[in-house]
Structure 1
């Protein structure tokens, strides 16, 4: 790709977060992945689409669930936010969150508080542009107390595969450190690590 074209498909992080990039013609960019470069404060415009796109099959719904799990296990608020529309609307527990900027602020607070966070998601059902998911994650607070959170999410996607609505109900359960079930190294859950059903969760 020429330098001119490369510059044409990159904009400031703030412009993409606030949705300015959503006006760019989809044909001008590749939609295969999301690329974030924090060093020069640029984000690749491929973030304006997020395959697979609806309507979902069981296979593509499962891909969407795993991609979301992987993103959240990165604990990178900016990377996670790019999977949602600029005007995405959330209800997380009792908190209402609107747009990418608020998503980034929320996730930054979350992962500053929920330490050594590890998450497993599992597909529950799907239809058209909607997916229902159940999940569990483990973390500890700054006092070293461990918790496992159980939850359900309802997702609704735009035509470009970005999520524009997320509704999550979550309950926390105290556990002892020796009761932890999610012990892989930080980052993506290994492919051979059991899922929720296999773990009896």
Structure 2
């Protein structure tokens, strides 16, 4: 199964790939998101190691049960060949109504079919007041006219 855009990436196709990933994650649909990864995909997410689509689905299901009202923005940092580096920020609240903002970097490696076969993520988060939130679009895809990370200085 091909998942365009395919490597090798140029700037336009890398930006498109990043936006497609952001859109997928903002759907908060673990099954849909997992389809963007190869069946043998390997992840490092903070201190957790995940391998394969089944584990990816389970990981994302747990994540979005804990992280309510999740909204994410990704931005291209660098690209070359079959690799893309991104930076991101997301906001969410827990089941007690406490808000958080997480910042991170991801390194992605794709197979020839455009499926991500490796994802290495480093993430830090901190509590924020609800009044400090920056990501206010309705749940789902970030509108095209909503500012990106650079606008907020993240």
Do they fold alike, i.e. is TM over 0.5? Answer: yes
Instruction: Give 5+ residue unaligned stretches, structure 1.
Output: 1-47
For 2:11 and 2:148, how far apart are their aligned partners in 1? Answer: 17
For 1:152 and 1:86, how far apart are their aligned partners in 2? Answer: 23
Once the two structures are superposed, the pairs formed by residues 161-172 of structure 1 within 5 Å of their partners are: 161-172=114-125
Q: Please report the TM-score for the alignment, with normalisation by the length of structure 1.
A: 0.76
Q: Please report the TM-score for the alignment, with normalisation by the length of structure 2.
A: 0.99
Name the structure 2 match of 1:123. Answer: 76
Matching of residue 195 in structure 1 with residue 117 in structure 2: no
Name the structure 1 match of 2:17. Answer: 64
The list of structure 1 runs, each at least 4 consecutive aligned residues, that deviate by more than 3 angstroms after superposition, is: none
Instruction: Give 5+ residue unaligned stretches, structure 2.
Output: none
DSSP 3-state at the match of 1:139? strand
RCO greater where, 1 or 2, for CA within 8 Å and sep 6 or more?
A: 2
CA RMSD of superposed structures (Å):
0.4
For 1:93 and 1:142, how far apart are their aligned partners in 2? Answer: 22
Count of residue pairs the alignment pairs up: 154
Name the structure 2 match of 1:100. Answer: 53
Name the structure 2 match of 1:8. Answer: none
Name the structure 2 match of 1:54. Answer: 7
Compare the two structures and name the one with the higher strand fraction: 2
- Bigger Rg over Cα: 1
Compare the two structures and name the one with the higher helix fraction: 1
For 2:139 and 2:67, how far apart are their aligned partners in 1? Answer: 14
TM superposition shift of 1:200: 1.3
